[in-house]
Amino acid sequence: MSSPLNLRTAALLSLPPLLWAANAVVGRLVSTLAPPATLNFMRWLLALALLALLVPSVRQLWRPGHALWAHWQRYAWLGLLGVGCYNTLQYLALHTSTPLNVTLVASSTPIWMLGIGVLFFGQRLQKRQIAGAVLSIAGVLLVLSRGSWQVLSGIALTQGDLYILLATVAWAFYSWLLSTTREPTEVRTDWALFLMAQMMFGLCWSALFTGMEWSTSAPSVNWGWPLVAALAFVAVGPSLLAYRAWGHGVSQVGPNIAGFFVNLTPLFAAVLSAVFLGEWPQAYHGLAFLLIVGGIVVSSASKPAAKAALTHTI
């Protein structure tokens, strides 16, 4: 049973959006230092090593007889969509799009979850959900049109726009898989085991994507303190600390309340982008944020089933 929201829990739930926004800014900063799939692979490889070192109990997953392996196909899909696809596509998007644009489009994930729930998981839409979807999609279109509705008729998406849209769809499928399938209780109730299970398979997919990246182009990794510091941050902050804080916060107040804290990510991204990148938000960013959040508020009033799946690994 969830507890009322208090200042301590609010602060705990505000930490993951801050770290996810910082992840987008850092990804933009090091976009010229490492190719996106390679950056994602190194991030999660380091995170897995740190998790295994700091939480010895997760090492039991490596035993062949562990109950997890009976559900390996489920974790293979979760690892593909979450650790593999979403994060790689996000870093790809940051090569040609700003952290604010990326986080604003990604914040519409609950609306995409509604559509995927209807198309693939037998969910039924209500009028509130339709109205909410219209508002949020309007916000996404406002970002993609860069604040000019007139350009929508001939809009040409940048590669970054396309990548973050694909990433958002991947995350919506990932979230539905979290909410509609089961895993061993010992894994589900232990955040470290649950994350490790996804990371082990996700790293396999990330390694595949990295191999494809290096076989189809001639990328390079510019090693130095900036890249090392960035890897240390994204492996510890957005990968481990954010996941732990989010899981604990959701357990305290429930996913319906916690879900609204995700929408702090674009606000934090706007501040961090201005400070570290000199990319100041425009008026249309504020309007898009209001439309997206308004749509999610309207939709959540009818308590869609997808809200139960708000568990992030971004």
Q: pTM of this prediction? A: 0.81
Is residue 206 assigned to a domain?
yes
Is residue 61 assigned to a domain?
no
Is residue 205 assigned to a domain?
yes
Is residue 314 assigned to a domain?
no
Is residue 2 assigned to a domain?
no
Report how far apart, in Å, the C-alpha atoms of 111 and of each of 125, 130, 171, 286 are: 11, 9, 12, 19
Between 24 and 282, whose confidence is greater? 24
The token pair that represents 15 in the structure block = 């930490």
| Predicted pLDDT of residue 124 | 75
| Predicted pLDDT of residue 182 | 65
Average pLDDT, the chain: 79
Say yes or no to pLDDT of 99 above 80.
yes
Counted domains in the chain: 1
Among the ranges given (45-54, 193-202, 234-243, 291-300), the one the predictor scored with the smallest mean pLDDT: 291-300
The average pLDDT across 211-224 equals 88
Q: Which of 313, 276, 280, 314 is nearest to 29 (CA)?
A: 276
Q: How far apart are CA 314 and CA 312, in angstroms?
A: 6
The token pair that represents 243 in the structure block = 């996941």
Is residue 60 assigned to a domain?
no
Q: How far apart are CA 43 and CA 50, in angstroms?
A: 11
Is residue 237 assigned to a domain?
yes
Query: How many C-beta atoms lie closer than 10 Å to residue 224's C-beta?
Result: 9
Structural contact between residues 104 and 294, judged by C-beta atoms closer than 8 angstroms: no
**What's the domain range around 297?**
7-55+67-309
Report how far apart, in Å, the C-alpha atoms of 136 and of each of 72, 87, 157, 217 are: 35, 22, 18, 37
Could you read off the pLDDT of 56-74 as tens digits, one per residue? 777 777 777 777 777 788 8
Say yes or no to pLDDT of 152 above 70.
no
Between 261 and 93, whose confidence is greater? 93
Is residue 247 assigned to a domain?
yes
Say yes or no to pLDDT of 143 above 80.
no
Could you read off the pLDDT of 274-290 as tens digits, one per residue? 877 887 767 777 777 77
Say yes or no to pLDDT of 267 above 80.
no
